[in-house]
Amino acid sequence: MVAVSAPLVSVIVPNYNYARTLRLCLAALREQTHRPVEVIVVDDGSTDDSAAVAESFPGVRVLRTPVNSGPSVARNLGAEAATGEILMFVDSDVALAPDAVATAVAILRDEPGVGAVCGNYDTVPLIDGTFTKDYRNLYRHWYFRAAEGSITGFLSTAILAVPTRVWAQVGPFNPRLTQSEGADVSERLTDRYEVRMTTRVIGRHDDDATLRVALGKVFTRTRVHIPFFLHRRRVVGVVTSAESGTGLASWLAAASTPLPLLAGPAWAAVPLLLLALWLLSDARMYRYVRAVRGPGYTLRFAGLHLLVSLTIGVGVAVGLVQWLLSRRFRRLYEEQPAVAA
């Protein structure tokens, strides 16, 4: 019986000023059970010692962009330089579990209809820190866990394995997009292949430590997805994508808060009922959080989640106004990068 050699996997790590986590990311790649692995770090104009950290790991190939150009440009540069049969995009703030690459390869090998494998974040952050960081990490673990299986409409680019032949058909990332490139590529991928989300491919992630930064990212990512969904005529996606599919009730609860002052105390029931509806719509998530963190943590989690949900509402509103007023914003997704026929 002729032995089949394991495919070369090119792991592409885009990085911008993440020297601390990059070291942990590369150390985890060194411990992968799958061999052979080609590691390409694309340093996107970092001003810290990221490039030196990458160069300190034997065998790691380091590429540089002349100026900071965003993760889409960095990932494309790495993909162009890769020589493997499978491309695996891994963000520099993620440390993969030792079997992550091997598991992704096995799924792509055993299920030919699967054109991409997205991994999940562990429930435990890569670096211990603030409650905001822990909330963000646990919430996104739940979000991806709930979506496990075939996915459409979004794509997690933090842990993403794609055969090179498939990437030749659906890539590259749109270089103009820095926060919504996953949704853009997802559409081209799911037109031709199944995209699989799985917690079997997992890594520990270092999320945003401060509330200001976290909410800023939530707002921006929501806002810039508006032209994608409206351009594709996917209006439902405006309120179901972003980071929560149950935000509408919380937005209405906030909007109806002045009712008791305007129409009398009895109207206080309206925002309270809407808030209860918002909580009930995510009951499965809260049960899960309670099981892994306890009731006290769950109360704090729900409070921060409400703040995030309201931030998403602001992002939707601003994005819709920008869509109406800015022709350039409306055309953000009209020009696509060239892909193979």
Q: How is 63-122 classified by DSSP, letter by letter?
A: EE-SS---HHHHHHHHHHH--SSEEEEE-TTEEE-TTHHHHHHHHHHH-TTEEEEEEEE-
Give the pLDDT score at 336.
Answer: 56
> Per DSSP, what are the bridge partners of residue 41?
13, 62
Per-residue pLDDT tens for 226-284? 887 776 654 434 334 444 445 777 777 777 788 778 888 887 888 788 888 888 888 99
Share of the chain above pLDDT 70, in %: 92
Report the chain's mean pLDDT, rounded to a whole number.
88
Give the pLDDT score at 105.
Answer: 98
> Per DSSP, what are the bridge partners of residue 50?
none
More confident residue, 116 or 275: 116
Give the pLDDT score at 85.
Answer: 98
Residue 2 has pLDDT above 60, yes or no: no
Q: Where are the domain boundaries for CATH 3.90.550.10 in the chain?
A: 9-207
Per-residue pLDDT tens for 136-168? 999 999 999 999 999 887 788 999 999 999 999
Q: Determine the average pLDDT of the residues in 70-77.
A: 96
Q: Is the pTM above the cut of 0.85?
A: yes
Q: How far is CA 110 from each of CA 102, 105, 114, 211, rounded to the nearest angstrom?
A: 12, 9, 9, 42
What distance in Å separates the CA atoms of residue 161 and residue 89, rounded to the nearest whole number? 6
Determine the topology of domain 9-207 in CATH: Spore Coat Polysaccharide Biosynthesis Protein SpsA; Chain A (3.90.550)
Give the pLDDT score at 187.
Answer: 85
What distance in Å separates the CA atoms of residue 255 and residue 120, rounded to the nearest whole number? 34
Q: How far is CA 43 from each of CA 52, 56, 73, 139, rounded to the nearest angstrom?
A: 10, 14, 11, 29
Q: Determine the average pLDDT of the residues in 72-81.
A: 97
Per-residue pLDDT tens for 181-237? 888 888 889 889 999 999 999 999 999 889 999 999 999 988 988 887 776 654 434
Torsion of CA 287, 293, 298, 300, to 10 degrees: -160
Give the pLDDT score at 338.
Answer: 52
What distance in Å separates the CA atoms of residue 231 and residue 227, rounded to the nearest whole number? 6
Residue 89 has pLDDT above 60, yes or no: yes
Q: Encoding tokens for residue 146?
A: 């709930």
Q: What confidence tier does 330 reach under pLDDT thresholds 50, 70, 90? A: confident
Closest C-alpha to 9, from 41, 35, 31, 27: 35
Residue 334 has pLDDT above 70, yes or no: no
Render 221-243 in DSSP notation, one character per residue. Answer: HHHHHHHHHHHTT-THHHHHSTT
H-helix or E-strand spanning residue 40: strand 37-43
> Per DSSP, what are the bridge partners of residue 149?
197
Q: What confidence tier does 1 reach under pLDDT thresholds 50, 70, 90? A: very low
Give the pLDDT score at 90.
Answer: 98
